[in-house]
Amino acid sequence: PAPPALLPYVPRLPPAALLGKITATTFALERPHCVFDRHANASDAVWLVVAFANASATFRNPPSRADVPPYEQLPTAHSYMTLEMPVASYSCSAPSPAVLRVGGDTACGCQGGQEPCNGPLPSPGPYRVKFLVLGCHGPIAETSWSDPILLRRAGSPSTIDPAPTRGGSATVVIAAILASLGVVLAAVVLSTVCAKAWASLCHRDLGTDTFTHKSYRTHHIPPTCRCTPPGLGCFAPRPPGLCPAK
């Protein structure tokens, strides 16, 4: 069969700052757009080949999908293929995310199968990747290999110094002093609030006792009217009449 066409595209990491662009087991890859439109049919699939950097030169494209190296063979074969997608996913008009996450499927290998999957990368690498268009009759087109991609290394517990440095001791002393001042300030504020609340309660009690023991004198106020027999209403009293002249 004719060798696959070499496309003028080099896979790379996203140039912009991205959260989690490179971790200990995954990395983000820039998604290719308008790269495979003229070299593939709608029935073809685009694969991502992941290989150790020192093994990328010896990788051989599989003649069919049945020969695709799975994720579980990476420790021995030093390469595998993943992220199988139809060509239309990378077309110019396809609305798609800007990046691909390599190694993001943590369920790979849990069932012991040999199906292609996008499992976490087992070591920092470095790795190289390329895109391969695979049709019914074998490889059709491929990109160049990427530059080496090195993942982050996790810190070893043995590298932690149990004895703090001088700067660390000074920092601990300053933090202890600030903590003590905070405790004192909180105690002062709490005592002030309690004193005000207690004074308020005492003031309320004093007002109640004073009202209870204070005596009041009442004054008899004569009625302003006198009641007549029932049904006749109430009339104001009349002033005493003048004596008739004799």
Torsion of CA 62, 68, 73, 75, to 10 degrees: 50
pLDDT grade, residue 98 (50/70/90)? confident
Name the fold adopted by 5-153: Immunoglobulin-like (2.60.40)
Beta bridge partners of 28: 101
SS3 track for the chain: CCCCEECCCCCCCCCCCCCCCECCCCEEEECCCCCCCCCCCCCCEEEEEEEEHHHHHHCCCCCCHHHCCCHHHHHHHCEEEEEEEEHHHHCCCCCCCCEEEECCCCCCCCCCCCCCCCCCCCCCCCEEEEEEEEECCEEEEECCCCCCECCCCCCCHHHCCCCCCHHHHHHHHHHHHHHHHHHHHHHHHHHHHHHHHHHHHHHHHHHHHHHHHCCCCCCCCCCCCEECCCCCCEECCCCCCCCCCC
pLDDT at 151 over 90: yes
Question: Could you tell me whether strands 45-52 and 234-235 are parallel, antiparallel, or unpaired per DSSP bridges?
Answer: unpaired
pLDDT grade, residue 155 (50/70/90)? low
Q: What is the pLDDT of residue 123?
A: 94
With vertex at residue 22, the alpha carbon angle to CA 70 and CA 107, rounded to the nearest 5 degrees, is 40
Q: What is the pLDDT of residue 95?
A: 72
Residues 20-33, mean pLDDT to the nearest whole number? 94
Q: What is the mean pLDDT of the chain?
A: 75
pLDDT at 97 over 80: no
Closest residue by Cα to residue 116 from 166, 66, 155, 150: 66
Q: What is the pLDDT of residue 41?
A: 84
| Dihedral sign for Cα atoms in the order 34, 39, 43, 49 | negative
Q: What is the pLDDT of residues 185-205, one digit of tens each?
A: 666 556 665 556 545 544 444
Which is more confidently placed, 199 or 235?
Answer: 199
Q: Give the predicted TM-score (pTM) of the model.
A: 0.62
pLDDT grade, residue 110 (50/70/90)? low
Q: What is the pLDDT of residue 200?
A: 52
pLDDT at 6 over 50: yes
pLDDT at 24 over 70: yes
Tokens of 76: 């021995």
Residues 96-105, mean pLDDT to the nearest whole number? 88
Domain borders along the chain are 5-153
Q: What is the pLDDT of residue 215?
A: 42
